[in-house]
Each structure stands twice: as C-alpha cells, then as structure tokens.
Structure 1
Amino acid sequence: MDPKHRQILQRNRLNLVTALNPADICDGLLSKGVFTQDMIDEIQGKITRRDQARQLVIDLETRGSQALPAFLECLRETGQHALAELLQCGDGARLPPSVPIQPSLIPLPVQNTKYAEKPDRPDFTPSRLGPLRPERLPVPNPFSPSSETQAVRPTRPRRDSIQCYKMDASPCGICLIINNVDFGPDCDLKDRKGSDIDCDKMEKRFKALNFEVIAKRNLKYKRIRHEMASLAKRDHSAYDCCVVIILSHGTEANHNRFPGAVHGVDGPAVPVQLITNYLNGQNCPSLQGKPKLFFIQACGGGEKDTGFEVSPDEVEPSLGGIDDQMDAIPISSSSDSLSTSDELDARATLPTPSDILVSYSTFPGYVSWRDTQAGSWYVENLDRVLEENAATDDLVTMLMMVNAAVSQISAKGLYKQMPGSFNFLRKHLYFQSSLS
C-alpha cells in the first residue's frame, strides 16, 4: 500500500473501528480482489463488530496501492458515505480514483512443495494466504501494480487466527501500584523525586481502563512480598486481568526467566521473577488463563547506554529533562557501579509462565532515567500511548510504540534508554475504553 494511503488509514483507525460495518463490505472487497477468502473468513471469525472492523483495517494496510480506492468504492456502494468522505478528504487532498488494472496470471509453482511445508523466512505470513493446492489457485489482486506483484509463495494450511483475551468484566481487574519514593538512610539509595507523578499518571490511566486501582507507597522488602501474597490470595474469578506496576530503584539479579530486581525502601531487592511467581497458575488459580501484566519502572543494572550513530533520518532526537536521575543502586555515594549481590529467591524454579507479560523501562543491565519534574521517560510515554491508542490497538503493538518514543530521548544530551518486554501472552490483549 502507498505510504500516504496507510497514513490515512492509521489516522482514521479510531473512526473506522467505531463506525465501520464490515459485514456490508466484505463481499465487495472479495469481488474486487482486495481480500482473499481466507482473509474474509478471519475477519468474520471475530466475535464483535469492533474486532471485525479492527482486523479489516489491519489487513487492508497490507494490500496493494489500489486497495484504499477500492475500499472507498465499497463504502459508497454500501451507503457508508460519511466514512468514505472522511477518508477521501482526511489528509487535505483527494485520493486518486480507482483505476482498474488487468490482472496478471500467476502460474502455480510446482517445484517448491518442500518449502511449502517448512517455511522459515521472516516475512512468511500463513495467516494471510490460504493453502496452495492444485485445485485452489491464489486469487490475483487486480489492484496491485506490477511492481508489487510477485510470484506467490506456497504456504502452510491456514490455522485459526490468534484470538483475543476476554476483557469485558467490570471492573476488568485489579491494578496494584507499588510506588517507592523515600529510601532509608542506611541503604545508600537516593530518594526518587518525580515518582509520585508517575504513580498519579498510572492510577488515573488504569482507572480510565476500568481497573480497580490499589496504590501503595514506600514499601519495604518484606512488605512488597506481603502485598504480592495478598494479591495472589484474592479471588479474581470475576475479573479478566491483573496488573502490577512497580516504581522503584532496581538492580540485576540471577534468573532463569525474568531478569532484574526491585528495591524496597529499606534496601533489599525483590527479584522480578519472584514477583511474577506470586500470580502464576499454581499460586493464584483464579487467574489461570487470564493475562497478568507487570510494568517495571526501575533500573535493570548500572550500565549507561550512550547509543550509536545513525543517519539523521532514522530518529527525531528528543532531549530529556534538566534534572534526569537514574533508578539504580550505587555501591557508594561516589560510584554509579552496580551492586552484584543477588537474592537467592531469584533462582527459584517457576512453572511455565503462560499469560504473563513483563514490560521493563530499560534493557536488562542498563539504567533507567527519570525526570524529577516530569516523571520517568517510560511511564510518561506509556501513559500517553495508552491514552491515544488503547481504543484501537493491542497491548503488544502499543508497547512497541513506547519503545520507539523512549529510544529517541537523550539524557544530558548523551545517554539513551531502550525499554522492552518479556511476552508470554497467548492471545491479543485489547483494553477496555470509553468507546468500547
């Protein structure tokens, strides 16, 4: 698809998901060669109209340069004129009319049956194309220009598409926020000015996403473990999800699944792996099969990332605040080095961590930056991305947006930060929103 057309769809995704009636236009998109039957089946397999509309827009962005004009034609044919006009004039310029192009015949590859069974290419997309058999040739797309028309690769038989987690309970679930700000004088950790700003943002954001929010401030090591144990003992049967947000200093820790540890205000650190262990299927049966999300704003270690030089076109640099601080533990007041002491609990064996996602503010081993006046880079962008995109995008997609935004910021004009996540979710996760 033409980049300008894709931008138009992305800018109007919320309107499309809210108002589009996919059932009316699927036949038209199929007859015009924009979608294959398998793609139509995947769209119609979604339970709600919003999910069908969301999938249709996502698929549409993968089609040829004439996909958007054909889509506009289908909207007008089915009486959805308001949406058609919105897209037609959404960027201040009129889109080119749909110009039919003679379809090109694509011969069936007969030498690649082995490849069809064992594809290993990174751009291989079995969910988008049906099985390639002699009695079922792929339908050519007449709206794709010759430059985009390539020999169709044989694919595996299509399996069921990835499903979505049920997220319609009210409230959706419990969100526990642990906000450690004031650290004891004996633990050699500075107070985390600006963390209250992060806490307020996350509390308001997850309340807006229909979570029951519980905020705890300045917890010691044992108290962190106590709060996690209490959360695990609660009955989550009426809920669809559970969220834990930790704002604290952090350090490295031995692990076999989830790296890092977060400090209590008295100094000792609780391994992230142990924190996730409280809510796994064995220790919290009422959360079995439900998504358990952990957001960690803390250093993953003591290394400072100075980044690497790239073309000016690659990034749009953004300076951090005037008083950026690290969420790391120093060995002494004159050193930013990392403490190498690890908690033994970090090596505890865990069951398979299904339905768990841990989002880290920084790459393991590196510092995480926080502006004392505006809060941390990570939480600021996480809050913004959730506000702007929760109604239309899934969680993993939004976390990639956060990664991209934070990666463009520089502390003191020099240091960088790269968030990331350990994702063991089995389905797409869409939060509730006021438009759901």
Structure 2
Amino acid sequence: MEESHKKILQRNRTNLVRDLDPSNLYDGLLEKGVFTQDMIDEIKSSGTRRDQARQLVRDLETRGSRAFPLFLECLQETGQHRLAELLQDGAPAVQIQPATPTQVVRPVVQPLPVSPPMDVDKQRKDDVPVYPIQRPSTTPSPSPEREYIRPRPTGRTRRDSIQSYKMDANPCGHCLIINNVEFEPKTDLSNRKGSNIDCDKLERRFKALNFIVEVKTNLKQKQIKHGLSALSKKDHSQYDCCVVIILSHGTEVNHNRFPGAVYGVDGQHVPVQHITNYLNGQHCPSLQGKPKLFFIQACGGGEKDTGFEVSPDEVEPSIGGADDQTDAIPMSSSSDSLSTSDELDARATLPTPSDILVSYSTFPGYVSWRDTQSGSWYVETLDRILDENAATDDLVTILMMVNNEVSQNSANGLYKQMPGSFNFLRKRLYFQTQA
C-alpha cells in the first residue's frame, strides 16, 4: 500500500474503529481479492465489532497498492459514505489497474555427478566440479535482516550451522513473564499452587541468558493484552530476540486456524494466536527478522494420556535420586485418584508468522502436570536442560531433549505428558551463555 494511503488510515483509525461495520464489507473485499477467505475468517475471530474493525484496518495496510481504492469502493457500495468521504479527503487519486500475472523465470538446474556415498569425502577434496548457484545479474539490495555466522567457541565444541540468528546484543532482548496464580472465586478456576516456583526458575534462567526480565503477576484479560501491547510498542532495534512466557490456566476456543487460549485471573481468555500476533513483523517492526519465542505452561482440563507399552530398551530411566519421584506417584486403586501435589496443566496452539517458535508443556488437547511443591514437569526440565546444554546446543535441539525427558515421567503411575513446539524459525538459535 502507498505510504500516503497508510497515513490516511492511521490518521482516521479512531473513527474507523468506532464507526466501521466490517460485517457488510467481507463479501466485497473477498470478491475484489483484497483479502482471502482465511484472512477474513481470522478477522472475524478477533472479537467484537470494534476488534474486527481494528484488525481489518491493520491487515488492509499489508494488501498492496490496490487495497485502498478497493476498500473505498466497498464502503460506498455498503452505504458507509461518511467514512468513504473521510478517507477520500486529501487522498491522491488512484486509478485501479487489473492485476497482471507475474512471469516466473525458473533457473536451470545442473545435476551433480552421482557417486557411492563412501566416496563423498574423497571427491570433495579431488575432482568434483562445483556448480555455483545461479543468481540475478543485478546486485540485490541488502536484506533488512542481519545475517550472523557464529564464530566457533573455544573449549567445548558447539555444533554451528551455516546460518544462525544474531544473538550477541547486550542485553540480548526483553523477556516478559506473566504468572497467573490466584484466580477470582467467580471463575471457578483453582489457584495454581507451584506456579511461583516455575516463575522464579525462569526469571533466573533468562536473566542468566542476558535478557531483561519483567514479571507480571495475576493479570486479568485486559491486563494481559495491555502488557503484550506495551511490549510490542517498545523499540527492539538494539536487541536480537524477544521472549514471552505465560503460566496460567488454559482452554480451547472457537478458531479458524489455531486452537487454544490462556486465562486471565478474571476468567476471560486470550487466544494464543492473538498473543503471537502482538510481536509479528506487521505489529512490531523492530522485531522483523528476529526470533520471537513463546513458552506456554497453561493448565486446564482435557484428555489424559495413558501412554502405550514399549520395549524396555525404549525407556531411559531418570537420572538422580528420590527427588525425581516428586511428580510420579504410585498406582492407586482408582486411576482417577491423583496425588494432591499433582495438578492438571495446559492446552496449546501455534502461530504461522516467520521467526516465531511456540513451545508448549503438552501436546494440544491433552493435560500436563504440575507439582504444587516443585513446579511443573515441563518448566523444571526446561530450566535444567537450558542450564546444562545452552552453551553447546541450539534451542530446537534443547526442546527435543525436554520432550524426551518429560515423556519418561508418569503421574499416578499411569498418566503421561508429551510437550511439543511449533517451529517457524528460519535459522538455528543459540542463547548467550556465560564463559
């Protein structure tokens, strides 16, 4: 969209949010190709009429040079003439041209010689011809994303990829922890005993990883949104990463793409897909191309996973002593009779924007477990594995280690838990660690 049209929308955002009726526009915007059906479904799921209007205006700015005049046409066609006149005032005239297909030029791919696998190393040293990647003849403009090839550290060997995210800013970035423990009685949601232990562990851990950590406790729905909005409005230009950690009750919600939501202490929920949207490239430009990490320990009802039988060789015993049994209790006569120190946790969801990773304490739709004395299985394991492996392993590898260890636990000798992450990062991510 033309910069002048963006400024007109931004200047009139208050009037649009207050007066726009999005429901009358959806058919026209879809028919004219301004939005896809998925985008319209996502706008509809954003909440009230005002929320939908706000999201529609935000999304409109990303839809190319034809979006603004087509939006004006839709306003006129649906009788919203006052808003159309308001936006036309001072707007340069635009002639709508039909979209023309872009010719796709496919590069010619030359095959490499085929050789037995055992000869690969030898041929690399000798006579294998190397075919350079074909690139356009014009010099491309520098990418706004900062490429970073991590130098190999001395001492312990670190497995580096060709590309990894730049993670050497000091401090590395902001880390917001929302810790909801005490819920209002009217919500019928139990207090989350043991969550403060999780919060303390993660606060110390991310401070050790050189993040600016801010902890907010017992937030209502609007306060959660306000905290995320404030984080998105910060200038992250001098930082390399941003982290959001949410410890709360969770639930499933009606959705067009991504299930799951977390509760405020007032019993009102915030969809996880909206949580991630606060920091995506559209709403937080200073984090474009930088990793945005979300860790969700959300407790709530759901299916209990009883697991399945495997060979003894597939099960690795936990390392340590008697304390490892804190979350695993003996089988009782009733499979639904749980230890008073074990409580249910988490449903989850996933986002799609690039450079985002969302890690959840459990597989979507299933419960996870939290011990009221030592904290949740997920956070306890994540904290320890970060401590032991952040100096040598990237984040995705670390999360696989967490998955494996948590999957070995059992509650009541019966119930299992499987954490998971939805990874939309484009490079490896190594945290800063002390030498």
| TM-score (normalised: structure 2) | 0.59
Give the C-alpha shift of residue 301 in structure 1: 5.2
Give the distance between the partners of 2:402 and 2:123, measured in 1 at CA.
Answer: 31
Match of 1:213 in 2: 213
**Matched ranges for 1:96-107 at <5 A:** none
Are 1:324 and 2:342 matched, yes or no?
Answer: yes
Structure 1, residues 340-384: CA drift from partner, whole Å, max 9, x if none?
Answer: xxxxxx99xx8x500000000001101111000000000000000
Match of 1:201 in 2: 201
Give the distance between the partners of 1:47 and 1:164, measured in 2 at CA.
Answer: 7
Residues 174 and 243 of structure 2 are in contact (CA less than 8 Å); yes or no, is this contact kept in structure 1? Answer: yes
Give the C-alpha shift of residue 299 in structure 1: 3.7
Structure 1, residues 169-191: CA drift from partner, whole Å, max 9, x if none?
Answer: 01100000000000110111100
Which ranges of structure 1 fall in alignment gaps of 5 or more residues?
1-31, 59-160, 330-345
Give the distance between the partners of 1:265 and 1:403, measured in 2 at CA.
Answer: 29
Name the CA shift for 1:227/1:46 in 2 (closer, same or farther; >3 Å).
closer
Give the distance between the partners of 1:193 and 1:211, measured in 2 at CA.
Answer: 26
Match of 2:183 in 1: 183
Residues 294 and 358 of structure 2 are in contact (CA less than 8 Å); yes or no, is this contact kept in structure 1? Answer: yes
- Paired AA for residue 268 in structure 1: Q
Match of 2:400 in 1: 400
Are 1:357 and 2:375 matched, yes or no?
Answer: no
Give the distance between the partners of 2:395 and 2:162, measured in 1 at CA.
Answer: 14
Give the distance between the partners of 1:308 and 1:369, measured in 2 at CA.
Answer: 18
Name the CA shift for 1:216/1:392 in 2 (closer, same or farther; >3 Å).
same
Which ranges of structure 2 fall in alignment gaps of 5 or more residues?
1-119, 131-147, 319-324, 329-338
Match of 1:419 in 2: 419
Match of 2:52 in 1: none
Q: How large is the RMSD of aligned CA atoms in angstroms?
A: 2.9
Percent identical among aligned pairs is: 73
**Matched ranges for 1:145-156 at <5 A:** none
Residues 246 and 297 of structure 2 are in contact (CA less than 8 Å); yes or no, is this contact kept in structure 1? Answer: yes
Aligned length: 278
Give the C-alpha shift of residue 269 in structure 1: 1.2
Match of 1:171 in 2: 171
Are 1:50 and 2:153 matched, yes or no?
Answer: yes
Match of 2:92 in 1: none
Name the CA shift for 1:211/1:33 in 2 (closer, same or farther; >3 Å).
same
Give the C-alpha shift of residue 253 in structure 1: 2.5
SS in 2 for 1:353: coil
Match of 1:270 in 2: 270
- Paired AA for residue 431 in structure 1: F
Give the distance between the partners of 1:166 and 1:37, measured in 2 at CA.
Answer: 31
Give the distance between the partners of 1:274 and 1:51, measured in 2 at CA.
Answer: 42
Give the C-alpha shift of residue 312 in structure 1: 1.6
| TM-score (normalised: structure 1) | 0.59
Give the distance between the partners of 1:308 and 1:199, measured in 2 at CA.
Answer: 32
Spell out structure 1 runs of 4+ moving beyond 4 A: 32-38, 51-55
Match of 1:282 in 2: 282
- Paired AA for residue 402 in structure 1: V
- Paired AA for residue 344 in structure 2: M
Name the CA shift for 1:419/1:429 in 2 (closer, same or farther; >3 Å).
same
**Matched ranges for 1:102-121 at <5 A:** none
